[in-house]
Amino acid sequence: MRTPHILLLKQNVYQLRDQLANVVGPTAITALETEINTNVSQMFALGEEHFNFAMGLPRAKWRQIVSRSYYSAYNISKAVRFAISGDYSTQVTDHSKSGKLPNGFPNLNMYKNQLQVLRNDRNLCDYDHSADETELVFTVQEYLTLADSFINDSRAFLFTAKGITV
């Protein structure tokens, strides 16, 4: 991430906005909010890019399809969590939070469970040279369907919860 960047402040962006409210005028606050929403859109777009890449891969590339499906879901989750809480992290531990979606997110428990399973299978695909496709918990097609529905539900949720169109 190139400096200067709002996310490099390593600060919850909504807390930052609220604390600056008495220092800067409403125009600056609006600019800050626009910047936040732009970052949400960019994170979301990255997730979609991973998904589109996965969709274009030949079926035989099952490891890559699962891996890209995971990164698609992870970035989409990151966009949703950032949009709602204002928290952003580049730490590796953030991967364990992909299923920690905000209250009110549709099928919250289903996504929490399945994104965790997808993460485990992503590790299998990326790091276990001895694994074969039958070891996957869900099929390649099921993972693509999961990522697709997660993108759609997230898009609808961001619009309803924050008025963000992605």
Partner 1 sequence: METNQDLIALKCAFEERSSLSGINYEIKERSDGKILIMYLANPTERFYRILEDCLKATVGEGEVPSLMATLKKSAAPNLLKSAEGRLLQRTLVESLNINRHSFKDDFFARYTKSVSGAEEQIVARANNIVFGRRGAGKSSLLLYGSHMSKRNMQATIWVDMQVYSGRQDSSVAIDLFLHILKEVAPKLSASAAIGELKSTLEEMRLVEVMDEVKLRKLLPRIREVLSEFGNLNQTLMIYLDDYHVIGKAIQHRVLDFLYSVTRGNNIYIKISAIESLTQTYDSATKAGMQIQHDITVINLDYNLTMPEKATEHITSILDAHASYCGLPAIRSLCTSTDALARLVWVSAGVPRDALSIFSQAMTRTALSNGRKVSVSSVNIASSETVNVKMKELDADASEDAVALKDLFQGLQDFALKQNRKNAFLVEINNNDTIYQKIIKLIDLRLLHVISEGTSTGDVGKKYLALIIDYGFYTGIRAARSVDLFNKQTKKVLYRDLRTLPVYAK
Q: By the criterion CB under 8 A, which residues form the site for partner 1?
A: 96, 107-110, 112-114, 116-117, 120, 123-124, 128, 130-131, 135, 137-138
State in angstroms the smallest separation of the CB of 141 from partner 1: 12
Nearer to partner 1, 18 or 135 (CB): 135
Sign of CA dihedral 18, 21, 26, 27: negative
Task: Choose between 146 and 158: whose C-beta lies nearer to partner 1.
Answer: 146
Helices 62-85 and 108-127: crossing angle, nearest 10°? 140
Q: What's the token pair of residue 118?
A: 């997808």
Phi and psi based region of residue 89 (left: phi greater than 0; alpha: psi -120 to 50; beta: remaining): beta
| Site of tokens 């890019």 | 49
Shortest spacing between CB 24 and partner 1, in angstroms: 38
CB of 160 to partner 1, least distance (A): 17
| Nearest alpha-carbon partner for 141 in 76, 59, 77 | 59
Please say which residue, 57 or 110, places its beta carbon nearer to partner 1.
Answer: 110
* Residue from 4, 59, 76, 56 nearest 35 by CA: 4
Q: Report the residue number, 98 or 114, with the smaller CB distance to partner 1.
A: 114
Q: Give least dist CB 62 to partner 1, A.
A: 15
